[in-house]
Structure formats: C-alpha cells, structure tokens
Amino acid sequence: MAELQEVQITEEKPLLPGQVPKAAKEAELAARILLDQGQTHSVETPYGSVTFTVYGTPKPKRPAILTYHDVGLNYKTCFQPLFQFGDMQEIIQNFVRVHVDAPGMEEGAPVFPLGYQYPSLDQLADMIPCILQYLNFSTIIGIGVGAGAYVLSRYALNHPDTVEGLVLINIDPNAKGWMDWAAHKLTGLTSSIPEMILGHLFSQEDLSGNSELVQKYRNIVTHAPNLENIELYWNSYNNRRDLNFERGSDITLKCPVMLVVGDQAPHEDAVVECNSKLDPTQTSFLKMADSGGQPQLTQPGKLTEAFKYFLQGMGYMASSCMTRLSRSRTASLTSAASTDGNRSRSRTLSQSSESGTLPSGLPGHTMEVSC
C-alpha cells in the first residue's frame, strides 16, 4: 500500500488577520449607506403582506427599535418629526430602526378590493414575528401610537421574551362598550370618516385652534388616496378586543413600559386607567403639557429626552447627555431596579433639577409628570 504523504496547500494571497478584500469593503459600505437611507421590504404573513422600512445597521446585543403608527397615518406622518429631531440622532445612531406600516397604509398602497377582510388588531400583532424572522432580529423596543400602541401591547402579551421595552402613546387597552359603540354609530351618521379620525388623533382644543399642524394633517387624511384602506384600519381599531390588563395577574406587560399622553388629549382617561392596571415597578407615566393629542408631533424634544431616560434605565446609553428636560421643573419618575437575564437594569425616567444631576435610585413607584 503506497505511503500517504502530507501535502500543504497555501493560498496565493493569504489574508492577514482582520484584512478584508477591497470589493467586500466597498459592498459593506454600499449596504450601510442604503440602510441609513432606509430600505423598504414586504413580507408575506398568514394575514397578508406587510411593509416595513429599516434604517441603520443592527448593533450587537442591542434590540431594534420598532414603531407602529396610528389610524389615518403611516410611519412617516406619525414618526418622522420625532426621529428627525436633532437630539434624537444620538439615539438612532445606537439602534437599528424598523418602521412598520399597517397593511394598505404605506405610501402608494393600492386600494383593497371591495369585500376585502382587513386584519384585526390581534392579527396585525401576529404579523410582527414574520418581520423579525425575516430580519433575523431577536428582541425589540416598541414605540406605538394609538392603534399602533395597542398592536404592540398585544404582541408583547403574546411574545414577552422578545420585547425589552415599550413606549405607548395614547393607548386605549379597552374594547368599546355598548355606550361607546352607540355613540360611534351616531357620530358616523353625522360625521365623515376623516372627521372621526381627526377627532381620534387630536384634542378638541387642537381642532378648534386649527393650527398649522392640524390643517396639515386634516389635508393628509381628507385627501388620502387610500382613504378606503384607512377606513378598514379604523374599523379594526374600533372593533378591538379588551387587552384585559390586571395588576398582579399574568395578563400584564412584563417589560419596562413608558405611557405617554398629552394633557386634554382624547385618550387621557384611557391612558390613566391603563397606568392603574400595570405593574408600578415596571411602568412610567408621562403626561405632557402643551402637547395636545399627538405628543410625538408637537413635543418631539421633550419626548426624545424622556425616551433617553427610558433607555438609560434599561441599561443602554449610560453616557448620554441630558439637556432639554434638565431645564424643566424638578420632578422625577423612578422605577426600581430589576434583573433581566444577566443584566441588572434600573429604569429611570427623570426630569432632573437645573443642575442636571440625575437623582439616585428611589423605591419603585409610578407618578404623573407634567412637563
């Protein structure tokens, strides 16, 4: 039997440690530029196709920020003023963002055919795992407004291990009662769909003041080319089930939560009630003055600052500089430290004193803050 001989094969151009071919570097740079500009994708789910736009590149051991918009809006009209705000840039440089458009709400969406069965809000929540699987993301921090806040809450109830935190603006976790249903029907006899949606988005003070912002969004909703689709989303929202939150029960949000509502907003009472049903050691309640029905549009600076504190409390962006809210009245909203896996996270949402010093940890509680 012939003797076996050891043969060494050497690459003609071996790579040094850390060396990357020029073509690969260029491809990586091009991909990063595209991601920073936003890449729109669609994925099929058991309840139809859903479109979402991704900004930035995934960061190791960091969740994605995933947003879900309200009725009458899409991700741009709902969140663009917030995410384009100057102080928000520090945040978005540290997290990849996924902006979800509810089916038929994306720009240029065709009108659904007559008789199309629009997904329920529960089914919209069940589409999110398909998005995360497509992107290979394991956890998220959700930011939702109105109907979008409900969708993310339902998703968090069904998939608690994948949600690290939630910012819920104008959430109403309750199903419509008979009185609400009757009032809605009567309003529908005298008001158009755009008028009802504007009454959902803005406070009466906003609408009577008829500010430039209200005029802009009245035009967006009234002249939307996909108004028929918007009506379907609106109907799904009005037919939502009760989330059945109950403090101390298994039906509750297990992650840190920041509830946000504007003073005199249409959903103020619902958000206050939601706050009373959630774990006070996990929940922060921010009531924002002079923000009307859409705090993310009217007070992006204050909301950005609060979001930074929220992220800090979760153990992210510890070195972030707080400036805007430090100039406000002294107030703090602190939740007790908790352990999430191997990470101990003290959750703090603060309006610090003029000195800019963060308060030390306080016993877990929930307070209302007007800023």
pLDDT for 248: 86
SS3 58: coil
pLDDT for 344: 38
The parent domain of residue 170 ranges over 32-314
Q: 26 in a domain, yes or no?
A: no
Express the helix, strand and coil content of the chain in percent, nearest 5 each. Answer: 40, 20, 40
Q: 231 in a domain, yes or no?
A: yes
Q: 183 in a domain, yes or no?
A: yes
pLDDT for 68: 98
* Residue 85 to residue 297: CA distance in whole angstroms: 10
Q: What is the pLDDT along the chain (371 residues), one digit of tens a residue?
A: 445 454 444 444 444 444 455 565 555 544 444 445 689 999 999 999 999 999 998 888 899 999 999 999 999 999 999 999 999 999 999 999 999 999 999 999 999 999 999 999 999 999 999 999 999 999 999 999 999 999 999 999 999 999 999 999 999 999 975 555 455 555 554 569 999 999 999 998 999 998 999 999 999 999 999 999 999 999 999 999 999 999 988 899 999 999 999 988 999 999 999 999 999 999 999 999 989 999 999 999 999 999 999 999 999 987 655 554 444 433 334 333 333 443 333 343 433 333 333 333 333 444 444 55
Burial class (CB in 10 A: 0-12, 13-18, 19+), 161: exposed
Q: How many helices (H) and strands (E) does the chain have?
A: 13, 11
The 10 Å Cβ neighbour count of residue 342 is 5
pLDDT for 261: 97
pLDDT for 348: 39
* Residue 20 to residue 43: CA distance in whole angstroms: 32
Q: 335 in a domain, yes or no?
A: no
pLDDT for 23: 64
Q: 275 in a domain, yes or no?
A: yes
pLDDT for 290: 87
Is residue 300 within 8 Å of 273, Cβ to Cβ?
no
Q: How many domains does the chain have?
A: 1
Q: 66 in a domain, yes or no?
A: yes
The 10 Å Cβ neighbour count of residue 25 is 11
Q: What is the CATH number of the domain that holds 132?
A: 3.40.50.1820
Sequence-separated (6 or more) residues with CB below 8 Å from residue 364: 280, 281, 334, 335, 336
Is residue 257 within 8 Å of 168, Cβ to Cβ?
yes
Is residue 61 within 8 Å of 138, Cβ to Cβ?
no
pLDDT for 14: 44
pLDDT for 82: 97
pLDDT for 125: 98
* Residue 275 to residue 262: CA distance in whole angstroms: 14
pLDDT for 329: 37
Q: What are phi and psi of 330, to 5 degrees?
A: -70, 125
pLDDT for 263: 86
Among 167, 189, 184, smallest CA distance to 240 is for 184
Q: 108 in a domain, yes or no?
A: yes
State the residue for tokens 């939150």. Answer: 245
Q: 226 in a domain, yes or no?
A: yes
* Residue 155 to residue 128: CA distance in whole angstroms: 7
pLDDT for 38: 85
